Structure 1
Amino acid sequence: MVSLDLPVGLEKFRSKLEATVKPYIAIQTQLTSETTLWQSKFAGFPYMPKNYDYPKTLQGEYLYLLAQINFVEIPRLENYPEKGILQFYISDVDVTNGWNESFYGLIFEQPTCQAYFRVLYFPDPDPNEENLVTNFDFLPTLWDRDFYNTPFSVHPRYSPQRDECFALTFQSKSAPITLYDYQCKELLGSEFYNLINSDEDDCLLLDEYGQISDIQAHKLGGYPHFTQEDPRPHFNDNKEQWILLLQINSDDSAREKIEIQWGDIGICNFFIKASALSQLDFSNVLYNWDCP
């Protein structure tokens, strides 16, 4: 069992907190224009076989790459693929029936409907570039799109290259349950939950626990964080829980160039059922993002 470095005010809950600890893969980003087609990245151009139909919306508009994970690059994470390339695409199409903003391909009432987002998995990537799409001139330039309609915000004085993206590196970590996970109160008890949420004077316990549970991380696996509420109870079928597949937080590490920003500094999550993950079936994924 992992031993947590807890503040004094939470020491009495140690056994309960440590019982919730889960491994995950933390993701670090670096803005670059030098990635390969196979490489893990946020944004940029994807690995795409020539004989594969590039993903589109129902109206035939091209989706754009949000994230690409090449599992040979990451440390081993139990129940997750050991190889293959997993991709997440989203849309800047307005799916809100006339509102002046896009929801990045999410239909809130149907978060598993992959009409305006897509999750693709290539179990055995082709190492021969001659068999891959290498010319992406057919795609609209991501950085020219209205920044209100994408989670990527370009600084007014910065002119990104067309193939600019965030290269990813990975690190194995573990952390206890996050406070906004719908199972938190059940697993840690009302006393813990009420204490952590009544620390109004200086929010020290709240902040310290946020650091321990690593709520700000981009991550694969582990526990999710939300700025509003956990949507999963609304879509549970009482048979199997949704587990975190990928989390992408707002990220200003490349400030004054390109920032990742979900609405007003929000966060994005993709969830999957463990049984589907074990079968490498990504056809039923729950997509969510929220902001304060």
Structure 2
Amino acid sequence: MIYKLDVELSPDLEPYRAKIEATIKPYIEIRLTDNNQPNWWQSKFGGLPYLPKGFTYPKSYDGEYLYLLAQINFVEVPHLEYFPNKGILQFYIAADEELYGLNFDNPTQQDKFRAVYFPDIDLKEDNLVTDFDFLPKLNDEWLMPFEGCCSLDFTINFRPITISDNKFSIFPVDEADANFQDIVDEYYDKFCMNKHKLGGYPNFVQYDPRYNYPQDEEPYILLLQIDSDSSKSINICWGDGGIGNFFIKKSALERLDFSNVWYNWDCG
């Protein structure tokens, strides 16, 4: 399906309108709310997880407890192709001020990060873990990229490819062209400013880690993006104002198989 842009473009960018429109695809825009005490089932950044009794709380290989970064209840989310229409998906990371659980050499190794999916939700609180006193208290706020908790709202939206996506090829990168930086700035301001999202195209502060991924293998697509943000009752900061991304292969997403998620974050 070809989507149409509903924005005015400068004379320099207008010649690329058709190429821009050809890349537009839907995604779920995530907005933070002022609710800092979401219940066990709600979508949230930070806080304590939905955890059925009998389910082993996520730990690293060496027994270190991980902490909830994000919880998405897909009952609350508008339907997006390939994504679940029910269940709760959670992302946990290690309290590590330098890496936040990221393994640069093996970014899909779920040791110090974890993706957990519950296809069916138990709405009886008596069946859930509600006492998390076993979790070590974090005495240093810099151990995690976030502090606090907030619930989330979701809306479906549409955007073209981001400039930092490794597949971007809408206009030539010619830094010798006097208009080049103006075109880049306009494109970024109009199409690359969305912060938190499910699906769509990712943003990066430095570069797309998928750049050297083998071309003959199924590509990884964006699963979840969490940007640095201090607009509500949570403070999120990846290093020096960076962005966190989780990727997945489309075939795995369709199978609801989150065992091979690619985790990455970068900062300036």
Q: What's the TM-score, normalizing by structure 2?
A: 0.93
- Distance in 2, matches of 1:208 and 1:109, equals 35
**1:12-31 paired onto structure 2 within 5 Å:** 12-31=15-34
Residues 236, 242 of structure 1: 8 Å contact kept = no
Match of 1:135 in 2: 131
Give a deviation string over 1:228-257, Cα, whole Å, max 9, x none.
Answer: 111013344622010000000000213xx6
Q: Is the 8 A contact 1:199 1:205 kept in 2?
A: no
Matched, 1:151 2:145: yes
Equivalence map 1:78-117=2 (5 Å): 78-93=81-96, 101-117=97-113
- The corresponding residue for 1:227 is 205
AA in 2 matched with 1:148: W
Question: 2-side partners of 1:199 and 1:53: how far apart?
Answer: 57
CA distance in 1, matches of 2:62, 2:215: 31
Is residue 173–residue 180 contact of structure 2 (8 Å, CA) maintained in 1? Answer: no
Determine the C-alpha separation between the residues in 2 that align with 1:252 and 1:8. 36
Is 1:262 the counterpart of 2:238? The answer is yes
1:194 equivalent in structure 2: 173
1:274 Cα shift? Answer: 0.3
Q: Distance in 2 between matches of 1:17 and 1:202?
A: 16
Helix, strand or coil: the match of 2:173?
Answer: helix
1:271 touches 1:285 (CA, 8 Å); kept in 2? yes
- Identify the residue that residue 48 of structure 1 maps to in structure 2: 51
Do 1:178 and 1:215's aligned partners in 2 also have CA atoms closer than 8 Å?
Answer: no
* Whole-angstrom distance in 2 between the partners of 1:118 and 1:129: 24
Asked if 2 retains the 8 angstrom alpha-carbon contact of 1:121 and 1:282, the reply is: yes
State the one-letter code of the partner of 1:221.
Answer: G
Q: 1:168 to 1:199 in 2, by over 3 A?
A: farther
SS in 2 for 1:68: strand
Structure 1 Cα separation of the partners of residues 208 and 19 of structure 2: 21
Letter of the 1:23 counterpart: P
Aligned to 2:192: 214
The alpha-carbon distance between structure 1 residues 228 and 200, as it changes in their structure 2 partners (threshold 3 A), is farther
| Counterpart pick for 1:239 among 217, 220, 240 | 217
What is the DSSP-based 3-state SS (H/G/I as helix, E as strand, rest coil) of the residue aligned with 1:119?
strand
Assess if the C-alpha contact under 8 Å between 1:43 and 1:65 holds in 2.
yes
Shift in alpha-carbon separation, 1:237–1:201, aligned structure 2, 3 A: closer
Give the superposition deviation at 1:214: 3.2
- Note the alpha carbon deviations across 1:94-119, whole angstroms, 9 max, x for none: xxxxxxx4200001111001010000
Q: Quote the residue 1:77 is aligned against.
A: 80
**Is residue 173 of structure 1 aligned with residue 157 of structure 2?**
yes
Amino acid at match of 2:157: K
- 2:12 touches 2:179 (CA, 8 Å); kept in 1? no
CA 1:136–1:237 in 2, change beyond 3 Å: closer, same or farther?
farther
Q: 1:236 to 1:70 in 2, by over 3 A?
A: farther
Q: Which amino acid aligns with 2:217?
A: K
1:290 matched residue in structure 2? 266
SS in 2 for 1:12: helix
What is the aligned counterpart of 1:251 among 206, 225, 229? 229
Secondary structure of the corresponding residue to residue 32 of structure 1 = coil
**Shift, 1:149, TM fit:** 2.1
Q: Percent identity?
A: 53
In structure 2, what is the Cα distance between the partners aligned to 1:34 and 1:59?
A: 31
1:258 Cα deviation (Å)? 4.1
Deviations 1:59-91 (CA, angstroms, capped at 9, x unpaired): 212100000000000111111100000000000
One-letter amino acid of the counterpart of residue 172, structure 2: Y
